[in-house]
Amino acid sequence: MYFQYKSLIKSAVNITKPELSVFFTRIILLILSGLMTSSLQSCGKKAEESPAIPQISDTTATNKGFTLNQNVLLTAGIEFEPAVKAMFPYRFKANGKVSILAIAQADVASPFKGTVKNFFNKEGQYLSKGQAILELNVPELVHYQEQYLQTKGELSFLSQEVARQEALQSENVGALKNLQEVRSKILAAEARLQAAAAILNIADIQPESLSNGTNFISTYTLKAPISGYISHFSVTLGAPASEGTILTHINNIEDLYADVFIYEKDIQKVKAGQVVSLTFADPKIPVLSGKIEYIGKELDPKNKTVMLHIPFAVPKGIMILPEMQVTAKIETGVESLHTLPEQALIHGEDGDYIFYTENPKSEKVEIRVLPLPVYTQQHGKIGISNLPSEGLYFAVKNANIVNGEYKRSEMEEE
């Protein structure tokens, strides 16, 4: 860079005296702008390992233009070359979030009204399916045990009574009405017995084990319906718990998947079983691999997107939680693109762009700006799908000096 500016200053001997002050002013501006652009380039340069991902828009030309004299281009070592057609992997990205299957999460509620007696676990602790979570005092359980035993005794008496009535009926002694009444009472008692037994089974109390004189159970233990982590408790010791009130929530974060969204123009480029790479906002989380399990069958009318469902395995020692942001990078084959050296790319505050001209050999070269909202980048080259027209030449060497002159022209216009 030093020698380029040195030779540019030496060329001042060929410029007429009235132009000398203007020429040196331009030299200073070029140096300052070039240094600023070089700094911006180094900070914003994209890594080869993480190529830029095409977005949903097309490359378009801008009306912004400026001219440079041929002697300035030669002295500064600015070179223009045409783009070269080459095959590039076609990649695009889909953003979304980490989700969890409905069967991998559970709200734990009490089927009975009671008060919290004891906690067996802490928030954030892992539980296996069926493991005890907390214990409730449930006085109404005593009533159902008592009802069960009373009804069971009543059925025993009614069974004897129906046998007696049937015997009388066979001898034409007893009234048929009495037999029918006893049978009706038996049916009602059996229904009450079954109802009490069902409630006791919910409370993990075996009705068959009950007998007169035993101590009735007045507590109920809530158990984990699935394996997973306790997220939080919504009650404290001694707190009342109404029937159906959610007391805690369990997540099995070992069964996670990514829900990402692609635009309708990319739907035909993906298929179930396709392997994708997943990246996360936290740089400590490695790039993970997953397969597209299914493609949504409903188009979002507002965003024109379709959901991809991608299960993935979580490595040991890495914590990934539901609702985390995730990006899926999807490679769907190769495509023919116009390629340029990555040195041609300028990273601006409002986006990336390159410079082009139609005639780099003219005395005064007219240069224009081409914004690049869509491009791919790998192995030191950038790939562009659409160009404004054929026969264009692009600044591939010392493009930062061209950018400095472009910034100067913008300041002059202001």
Element (H, E) at 185: helix 176-202
- Residue 1 CB: number of other CB atoms within 10 A? 14
Q: Which of helix, strand or coil describes residue 78? A: coil
pLDDT band at 173 (very low <50, low <70, confident <90, very high): low
Arithmetic mean of pLDDT, 321-325: 93
**Is the pLDDT confidence value at 46 over 50?**
no
Read off the pLDDT of residues 81-114 as tens digits, 9 standing for 90 and up: 999 999 887 778 899 999 998 889 999 999 999 9
pLDDT at position 280 is 95
> Of 206, 232, 251, at which residue does a domain stop?
251
**Is the pLDDT confidence value at 411 over 90?**
no
Q: Which two tokens stand for residue 161?
A: 């009574």
Query: Helix crossing, 399-413 with 17-44: angle to 10°?
Result: 110
Element (H, E) at 29: helix 17-44
Whether 369 contacts 358, CB under 8 Å: no
Which of 329, 301, 324 minimizes the C-alpha distance to 314?
324
Same domain as 171, residue 108: yes
Same domain as 82, residue 143: no
> Of 217, 251, 285, at which residue does a domain stop?
251
Read off the pLDDT of residues 213-271 as tens digits, 9 standing for 90 and up: 678 999 999 999 999 999 889 999 999 999 988 999 999 988 899 999 999 888 988 99
**Is the pLDDT confidence value at 47 over 70?**
no
CA separation for the pair 81, 64 (Å, rounded): 20
CA separation for the pair 401, 139 (Å, rounded): 85
- Residue 126 CB: number of other CB atoms within 10 A? 15
**Is the pLDDT confidence value at 6 over 70?**
no
Same domain as 208, residue 178: yes
Residue 259's domain is classified under what CATH number?
A: 2.40.30.170
Arithmetic mean of pLDDT, 302-306: 92
Same domain as 297, residue 277: yes
Read off the pLDDT of residues 124-157 as tens digits, 9 standing for 90 and up: 999 999 999 999 999 999 999 999 999 999 988 8
**Is the pLDDT confidence value at 44 over 50?**
no
Q: Which two tokens stand for residue 62?
A: 């801008």
> Of 235, 251, 267, at which residue does a domain stop?
251
Same domain as 218, residue 190: yes
pTM of the model: 0.54
pLDDT band at 65 (very low <50, low <70, confident <90, very high): confident
Q: What percent of the chain has pLDDT above 90?
A: 54
3-state SS of the chain: helix, strand, coil percent to 5? 35, 35, 35
Arithmetic mean of pLDDT, 316-328: 92
**Residue 345: CA atoms inside 13 Å, Cβ hemisphere, count?**
26
Same domain as 241, residue 177: yes
Same domain as 343, residue 326: no
**Is the pLDDT confidence value at 13 over 80?**
no
Task: Please name every residue paired with 277 in a beta bridge, in sequence order, or none if there are none.
Answer: 289, 329
Between 52 and 161, name the one with better pLDDT. 161
**Is the pLDDT confidence value at 11 over 70?**
no
Beta 364-371 vs 351-357: how paired, if at all? antiparallel
Q: Which of helix, strand or coil describes residue 100? A: strand
What are the phi and psi torsion angles at 323 (to 5°)?
Answer: 80, -5
pLDDT at position 414 is 65
Q: Which two tokens stand for residue 4?
A: 């380029």
Same domain as 206, residue 244: yes
CA separation for the pair 38, 168 (Å, rounded): 113
CA distances from 248 to 144, 222, 228, 288 (A): 26, 10, 12, 31
pLDDT band at 61 (very low <50, low <70, confident <90, very high): very low
What are the phi and psi torsion angles at 170 (to 5°)?
Answer: -65, -25
CA separation for the pair 7, 13 (Å, rounded): 11
**Is the pLDDT confidence value at 54 over 80?**
no
CA separation for the pair 238, 8 (Å, rounded): 86
Helices and strands in the chain: count of H runs, count of E runs = 6, 23
Same domain as 137, residue 240: yes
User: Angle 183-187-191 (CA atoms, 0-180°, nearest 5)?
Assistant: 165
Residue 202's domain is classified under what CATH number?
A: 2.40.50.100
Buried b (16+ CB within 10 A) or exposed e, 228-243: bbbeebebeeeeebee
Cβ-based neighbours of 408, under 8 Å, separated by 6 or more: 26, 29, 30, 33
| Tally of domains within the chain | 3
> Which residue type, as a one-letter code, is found at position 409?
S
pLDDT at position 266 is 87
CA separation for the pair 70, 241 (Å, rounded): 85
Same domain as 197, residue 122: yes
pLDDT at position 101 is 87
Between 291 and 411, name the one with better pLDDT. 291
CA separation for the pair 79, 397 (Å, rounded): 5
> Which residue type, as a one-letter code, is found at position 203?
A
**Is the pLDDT confidence value at 48 over 50?**
no
CA separation for the pair 228, 313 (Å, rounded): 16
Same domain as 237, residue 216: yes
**Is the pLDDT confidence value at 62 over 60?**
no
Task: Please name every residue paired with 246 in a beta bridge, in sequence order, or none if there are none.
Answer: 109
**Is the pLDDT confidence value at 7 over 50?**
no
Q: What percent of the chain has pLDDT above 70?
A: 83
What are the phi and psi torsion angles at 59 (to 5°)?
Answer: -75, 130
**Is the pLDDT confidence value at 8 over 80?**
no
Q: What is the residue range of 164's domain?
A: 104-251
Candidate from 38-42, 331-335, 336-340 with smallest mean pLDDT:
38-42
**Is the pLDDT confidence value at 200 over 90?**
yes
Same domain as 407, residue 345: yes
Arithmetic mean of pLDDT, 265-285: 91
